[in-house]
Amino acid sequence: MNVWRRLSGPRRTLALAGAGVLVAGGLVTIPVTAAQAATQCDIAYTTNDWQGGFTANITIKNLGDPVNGWTLGWTFPNSSQRVQQGWSAEFTQSGSQVTARSMSYNGTLATGASTTLGFNGAWSGSNPKPTSFTLNGVVCNGGTGNPTTPPPTTPPPTTPPPTTPPPTTPPPTTPPPTTPPPGTKVDNPYAGVRGYVNPEWKAKADAEPGGSRVSNNPTAVWLDRIAAINGTPNSSSNGAFGVREHLDEALRQGAGYIQFVIYNLPGRDCSALASNGELGPDELPRYKAEYIDPIAAIQSDSKYRNIRIINVIEIDSLPNLVTNTSGQAGGTVMCDTVKANGAYVNGVGYALAKLGAIGNVYNYIDAGHHGWLGWDSNFGPTADILKTAAVASGSTVNNVHGFITNTANYSALTEPYFKVTDNVNGQTVRQSKWVDWNFYVDELSFAQAFRTKLISVGFNSNIGMLIDTSRNGWGGANRPTGPGATTSVDTYVNGGRIDRRAHAGNWCNQAGAGLGERPQANPAPGIDAYVWVKPPGESDGSSSEIPNNEGKGFDRMCDPTYGGNARNGNNPTGALPNAPISGAWFSAQFRELMQNAYPAL
């Protein structure tokens, strides 16, 4: 049934992680008391404290009428408390009074909806929690108990009063690292800190009409060739910044994490053309010495020890060894070669070992997507090959913090209007042409199930999953609002599915796609974050052949006039016209992604 597996996958180019809740400093929940007020809210304020500094995370839950634009206000109890660096809101402070105003992407709060913001701060003496918050000028109660318990007149301090006078020296301009100290891995590197905004991508997004609505989101930096390590100012698909320049800029921004894509294996993307790489299949020594080693040398610089460096390891590589070798539909000689010589397994293992040895580095291996690996014939064998790579070339599973799915792809996060267990007129939806006997119909269910499988084959039980949501929103006028007709399994699935592609095997510059969920931490069980690893607006591949010096070929799956192949059920490609080579800026696509964003901008 599943004659296609790989879906061609050259998704080449390419997360504002919502602040997660840290509980070391305690939790303050402030419910509303004015039952008749149009604006009602519940505030959860948590801190993670260290001597002289803290990270605060605030969750606003709207219990009243819908809000379109919000302003949160509070007063610090201690005059020394200061906001230094904030995220997910615009912070201002005058004396002890603090105001946080909504951003363009999180200002709308429906009744019952929540949003999270946070900041790094400084204090001396003690760091008590604020006792009262206002939302759009309406008090959200000044107590710290539950709604049925009156708050104390004077809330107790969260730390004992100092026995000696507070120091007279001002707080440091850069707060000390959060607990645990640098070099100690945290469970989720996205939680509680602000992500790095690539200024080169931001400048391109800001230049588009309405682009400033999304340009402050964190996106990954793709290291797709050796020259990208030091920067490629004359390249069509990467900017002048190299690894060190990005890390320096992350320090300047006060970012808590930065994301890099490690993407230059020998014989890269063996089943496709648009994202072929510079290294031949036998150049593993060069991959190690000229690519991984220099990246590791920069990332291990003690200057960057306080930044959580997240590496996404080799997109679309290891699953190819399961689905695109001899005996598989669409198997290629290149995939046979890199499987036989161990270039992929040993290259990934070496990258994991070298980068994983750095105390503040977190490695996430690419794990395809549900429309590629959802069948049992692919699901288990891929988990096994991922484990093989994780213990190759001197690595261990401890060098793997987690996995990422849907990288640079378009698979819907969830399908609200049909489930894989549904039946229509006595037929399972798995018999529909779209599902094609797959066991999964969306990325969230696949990522959660695949995590369980990965743990069963020997990965650590605390691994987390990432899902790339940069282009899987599928909003706009064509988004279904309910289930399809029950005439047949095909009308039921096709009428109700969010993913509007002609076939789940279509991967290049898809027409009708939209921005998906904004980057955020801890969005679902087992999921460390929704991320934007693929920067919206960067092409998947050229619509026609374009000569270049980056090793990127022309793949007919990027040609809107191509009628498809066995991998995509001989369906039209659904690709946008006039696209540049992979990684280059594609203005028309970026504008369409904003137009079809879901949640809408």
Reported as a single tens digit per residue, the pLDDT across 422-439 is 999 999 999 999 999 999
User: For residues 521 and 419, what is the distance between their CA atoms, to the nearest angstrom?
Assistant: 26
Q: Which of 531, 522, 518, 471 has its CA nearest to residue 214?
A: 518
What pLDDT band is residue 538 in, cutting at 50, 70 and 90? very high
**Domains of the chain, with CATH numbers?**
27-139 (2.60.40.290), 199-595 (3.20.20.40)
Mean pLDDT of 354-374: 97
Strand ranges (E), 430-565: 464-468, 520-524, 527-531
- What's the pLDDT at 31? 47
- What's the pLDDT at 593? 98
pLDDT in tens, 2-26: 333 334 333 333 333 333 333 334 4
Output the average pLDDT for the chain.
86
- What's the pLDDT at 235? 61
pLDDT in tens, 52-106: 778 788 999 998 889 999 999 999 999 999 998 777 888 899 999 999 999 877 8
The answer to whether the pTM exceeds 0.85 is no
Judged against a pLDDT cut of 70, whether residue 249 lies above it is answered with yes
Q: 29 or 72, which is more confident?
A: 72
Judged against a pLDDT cut of 90, whether residue 245 lies above it is answered with yes
- What's the pLDDT at 275? 67
User: For residues 548 and 1, what is the distance between their CA atoms, to the nearest angstrom?
Assistant: 38
Burial (0-12, 13-18, 19+ Cβ within 10 Å), 169: exposed
Q: Of 206-215, 328-337, 429-438, 526-535, give the lowest mean pLDDT range.
A: 328-337
Amino acid sitting at position 320: N
| End-to-end Cα separation, the chain, in angstroms | 39
pLDDT in tens, 508-519: 999 999 999 999
Structural contact between residues 493 and 432, judged by C-beta atoms closer than 8 angstroms = yes
- Lookup: tokens for 318: 């290891």
What pLDDT band is residue 232 in, cutting at 50, 70 and 90? confident
Our CA angle for 81, 87, 91, nearest 5°, is 50
User: For residues 440 and 280, what is the distance between their CA atoms, to the nearest angstrom?
Assistant: 35
Contacts of 425 by beta carbon, 8 Å cutoff, 6+ apart: 486, 488, 489
Return the active site residues: 316, 540
Q: 39 or 220, which is more confident?
A: 220
- What's the pLDDT at 29? 47
- Lookup: tokens for 153: 């007149």
pLDDT in tens, 267-317: 998 887 766 789 999 999 999 999 999 999 999 999 999 999 999 999 999
User: For residues 56 and 576, what is the distance between their CA atoms, to the nearest angstrom?
Assistant: 43
Share of the chain above pLDDT 90, in %: 68
Placement of tokens 């267990």 in the chain: 421
Judged against a pLDDT cut of 50, whether residue 502 lies above it is answered with yes
What pLDDT band is residue 183 in, cutting at 50, 70 and 90? low
- What's the pLDDT at 268? 92
User: For residues 135 and 31, what is the distance between their CA atoms, to the nearest angstrom?
Assistant: 12
Structural contact between residues 299 and 359, judged by C-beta atoms closer than 8 angstroms = no
How many CA atoms does the CB half-sphere of 97 hold within 13 Å?
3
- What's the pLDDT at 274? 66
Element (H, E) at 443: helix 443-456
Peptide bond between residue 599 and the one before it cis (omega within 30 degrees of 0): yes
